[in-house]
Amino acid sequence: MSTEYNGYVTAERVEGAEDGPLAGRTVAVKDNISTEGVRTTCGSAMLADYVPPYDATVVERLKAAGATIPGKTNMDEFGMGTTTETSAFGAVENPVAPGHVPGGSSGGSAAVVAAGDADLALGSDTGGSIRCPAAFCGVVGIKPTYGLVSRYGLVAYANSLEQIGPIAPTVEEAAELLEVIAGPDERDATTRDAREEGSDYEYAAAADGDIAGMEVGIPTELLDGADEAVVETFWDAIDDLEARGVTTHEVELPSVEHAVEAYYVIAMSEASSNLARFDGVRYGVSGGFDGNWNETFARAREEGFGDEVKRRVLLGTYALSAGYHDKYYQKAQDARAWIQADFDEALAEADVLASPTMPVPPMELGESLDDPLTMYLADANTTPVNLANLPAISVPAGETPEGLPVGLQFVGPAFGEHAVIRAGSALA
């Protein structure tokens, strides 16, 4: 099934078990999640012909739950982007806002759900890549607490930040999919059992819309500088929640002004290390050996990687190099600790925090590709959450006067998925 908006890289159907909680439903899978026997490209020419010999843990769980996988979805190359325009397989167009980007990097996953070409989808979120496309395509996306969902079989971009999570038309359906994929995995030592963290896995039951009495903190820093129509839509949604018994108060997160800088230093540093395996020998297109291994590797990487990936590998290598490590990487780690402390403090007095998911509505196709810095700044509201390892949801909040979707983000405490699901279910 190809789509005119370019949502799938590979539309190969894989049937799951006969029955189970997802029987009869299709779940599209982002193309950086390994699927046995079905090529997994990460949106990169480097992996155009790569067919994994095993399933990611989340894919095993989908199949066991009876889901049908209709295909692998298009994405920014290795997850590096906010618009799904850096894919080697072409940009994805936003099916609900033609001429605009679907957000990224899981743009294909959000687009196929928004267009009805899959019931549900999996994305991955390193710095917003589930929540951003969910917001831009008018659907729901959940970024789980770090350690709730196994990353075994997810091709790593920045492993200390990323989680696999669900994208769905409604909060309840997203919660159902989260129930299937969540839980510890002995093949990923960073996973934890939510029950040992004072929680449980009954996520769908939390999607009851019952928000009366909830306390919502609103970090003023995440509204500063946001697009006017986005801010207006956000406040309208908050008014609606207040009318239904929610109380709100403003909170301060002074550290978040450093989040984008800290995020990009950490993400690029980890990427430079994680992507070292794509040298044409261990993984990736061959550089053709001619007697000099350095040149062989360089040729493979020159040919296989796109511009954004090269930019990040170079900057990450620089940030980690001797002499600069303390100046960049260590500083970014300090900022990360400060951001975590700020969230802890704010969440001590609120059930969830609310902000616009993205400070801007979906950009026009081609508008932001030549301006990486502006693109990075669009991640201002999503990256702090990954740095703090917390769960968050993006739900549709309304539209701009031009009819472009606006998403609202709720952030909860670690393993507090229920709180963000409950809050989100009041809106979608």
d(CA 218, CA 356): 10
Should residue 361 be labelled a site residue for ligand GLN when binding is judged by CB under 6 A? no
d(CA 342, CA 85): 33
| Helix/strand/coil for 372 | helix
- Interacting span for ligand GLN (CB under 6 A) from 23-31, 110-118, 119-127, 245-253: 119-127
Q: How far is the CB of 79 from ligand GLN (least distance, A)?
A: 3
Binding string, residues 366-395; x marks residues near ligand GLN by CB under 6 A = -------------x----------------
Give the total of residues touching ligand GLN (CB under 6 A): 13
Should residue 125 be labelled a site residue for ligand GLN when binding is judged by CB under 6 A? yes
Should residue 82 be labelled a site residue for ligand GLN when binding is judged by CB under 6 A? yes
d(CA 169, CA 118): 10
Let me know: does 153 contact 58? Beta carbons within 8 Å.
yes
Pick one of 16, 66, 70, 79: the residue that binds ligand GLN (CB under 6 A): 79
| Helix/strand/coil for 393 | strand
- Which of 44, 129, 272, 355 is catalytic? The answer is 129
CA 305 to chain CA centroid, nearest Å: 21
d(CA 153, CA 222): 33
Should residue 396 be labelled a site residue for ligand GLN when binding is judged by CB under 6 A? no
Interactions with ligand GLN, residue window 249-268 (CB under 6 A): 267
Pick one of 81, 107, 184, 362: the residue that binds ligand GLN (CB under 6 A): 81
Q: Which tokens is 106 given?
A: 């899981």
Q: Which tokens is 281 given?
A: 């020998």
User: H-helix or E-strand containing 419?
Assistant: helix 417-425
Should residue 126 be labelled a site residue for ligand GLN when binding is judged by CB under 6 A? yes
Annotation marks residue 87 as catalytic: no
Q: How far is the CB of 240 from ligand GLN (least distance, A)?
A: 29
Q: How far is the CB of 151 from ligand GLN (least distance, A)?
A: 13
Should residue 31 be labelled a site residue for ligand GLN when binding is judged by CB under 6 A? no
120-125: strand order across its sheet: 8-10, 72-73, 27-30, 120-125, 163-168, 140-143, 392-399, 405-411, 352-356, 215-219, 247-251
- Interacting span for ligand GLN (CB under 6 A) from 122-130, 212-220, 285-293, 319-327: 122-130
Looking only at the bridges linking them, the beta strands covering 352-356 and 405-411 are: antiparallel
DSSP state of 195: G
d(CA 358, CA 408): 8
Looking at beta carbons only, is 68 or 83 nearer to ligand GLN? 83
Q: How far is the CB of 291 from ligand GLN (least distance, A)?
A: 37
DSSP state of 246: -
Looking at beta carbons only, is 8 or 157 nearer to ligand GLN? 157
Let me know: does 108 contact 84? Beta carbons within 8 Å.
yes
Nearest by Cα to 191 from 146, 222, 155, 234: 146
Should residue 191 be labelled a site residue for ligand GLN when binding is judged by CB under 6 A? no
Q: How far is the CB of 209 from ligand GLN (least distance, A)?
A: 28
Q: Is the dihedral of CA 47, 101, 223, 377 positive or negative?
A: positive
Residues in the chain: 428
Looking at beta carbons only, is 153 or 184 nearer to ligand GLN? 153
Q: How far is the CB of 195 from ligand GLN (least distance, A)?
A: 28
Looking at beta carbons only, is 211 or 309 nearer to ligand GLN? 309
- Which of 44, 105, 106, 255 is catalytic? The answer is 105
Pick one of 69, 80, 385, 395: the residue that binds ligand GLN (CB under 6 A): 80
Catalytic positions are 30, 105, 129
The contact set with ligand GLN (CB under 6 A) reads: 79-82, 105, 125-129, 157, 267, 379
